[in-house]
Amino acid sequence: MIIVLKPKASRTQVEAVIREVRNLGYKPHPIIGVERTVVAAIGDERTHQTLETLLAMPWVDQVMPVQRRYKLVSREGHPKTSVIRVGKREIGGKRVQIMAGPCSVESERQIVDTARAVKKAGAAFLRGGAFKPRTSPYDFQGLKEDGLKLLSLARQETGLLIVTEVLSEADVDLVARYADILQIGARNSQNFALLIAAAESGKPILLKRGMSMRMEEWFFSAEYILSRGNPNVILCERGIRTFETMTRNTLDLSAVALAKTETHLPVIVDPSQAVGRADMVSTLCKAAIATGADGLIIEVHPDPKQAMSDGAQQMTPRQFEIMMRELKPFIHAAGRC
């Protein structure tokens, strides 16, 4: 870390900083300039306590880190992109993985029909919420364990792998018994107790970016999971809340590009939650692929107007099939398959 003192800090004040840097386990190197003194604190910032507390000294002007503090997630210490194996599939490899299915699991017929349709169109994973995070407590909350059983049935029928959300720490064991990938939703991506419990299940985790989360905060959430011994994290950009009201959220493609550069984790995009309308999903999928996304997670419902959640943004199986065909040249142009 670099500690910059205010102009004309006294010798006693410089010494107080040096003492504190040493107390916190770093080796201090003062550089005395004409106007200002700078203290370089040598030590591993990723494992030592932050020196930001030094800002409590009125003569300290700035404390600047020089290393990334999300050390397990950062490419700094892990230059090679991670490839996550789920069953026989790989996320983060050459193949762009497609996850598709309804927002919520509603019935056997709905989930099995959707699973068959999305598989036929080329998806490898079936999404569907059994535990639903709804803004209003009066809205459909999901079929819970019955929904998980239906997902499991759809997996048996089609061989698709299951991605489903876990809403609370108390449900981690239950959801992990049925799911191939645990989804941590946007509303929970800084629920640290849930992140830890999900990490400890040993299942791969799809970590959504919170709707008002800075990228650094998203990377720290991933760091919670990796630091609990679970390296299998897939980052998912799903749009952030901005001043815009004509789309549900604003898909932040720069976050996809940056997450791919800054971390070694696979990054996927959820255009459905981002834009909030089915007719825009295909365009955003193409853009996501051009930005380097390793996969897409898309809402598909056999009859969106009857859907119990997120009707406006769910594609019909037919729209999905057409989109999958249209995506092919974009996937090839990005050097993927």
Which residues are near ligand PEP by CB under 6 A? 103, 129, 133, 185-187, 208, 238, 270, 273
Candidate list 54, 103, 167, 175; residue touching Mn ion; CB under 5 A: 103
Paired residues of 32 in beta bridges: 37
- Verify binding: residue 310, Mn ion, rule CB under 5 A: yes
Which one, 73 or 275, has the nearer CB to Mn ion?
A: 275
Contacts of residue 249, Cβ cutoff 8 Å, sequence gap at least 6 = 211, 238, 239, 240, 241, 242, 273, 274, 275, 276
Residue 31 near residue 20 (C-beta atoms within 8 A): no
> What is the spatial distance between Cα 9 and Cα 151, in angstroms, rounded to a whole number?
65
- φ, ψ at 136 (rounded to 5°): -100, 135
- φ, ψ at 90 (rounded to 5°): -125, 135
Which one, 79 or 137, has the nearer CB to ligand PEP?
A: 137
Residue 82 touches which of ligand PEP, Mn ion, none (CB < 5 to 8 A by kind)?
Answer: none
Quote the Cα angle for 224-229-231, to 5°: 80
Residue 291 Cβ vs ligand PEP, minimum distance, rounded to whole Å: 18
Residue 236 Cβ vs ligand PEP, minimum distance, rounded to whole Å: 7
Which one, 154 or 186, has the nearer CB to Mn ion?
A: 186
Residue 266 Cβ vs ligand PEP, minimum distance, rounded to whole Å: 17
> What is the spatial distance between Cα 311 and Cα 276, in angstroms, rounded to a whole number?
9
Alpha helices in the chain (DSSP H): 11-23, 108-121, 145-158, 172-178, 192-200, 215-226, 253-262, 271-275, 278-290, 317-333
Which one, 268 or 331, has the nearer CB to ligand PEP?
A: 268
* Total residues binding Mn ion (CB under 5 A): 2
Residue 261 Cβ vs Mn ion, minimum distance, rounded to whole Å: 28
Residue 331 touches which of Mn ion, ligand PEP, none (CB < 5 to 8 A by kind)?
Answer: none
Residue 238 touches which of Mn ion, ligand PEP, none (CB < 5 to 8 A by kind)?
Answer: ligand PEP
- Verify binding: residue 294, Mn ion, rule CB under 5 A: no
Q: Which residue number places its CB atom closest to ligand PEP?
A: 185
Residue 70 Cβ vs Mn ion, minimum distance, rounded to whole Å: 28
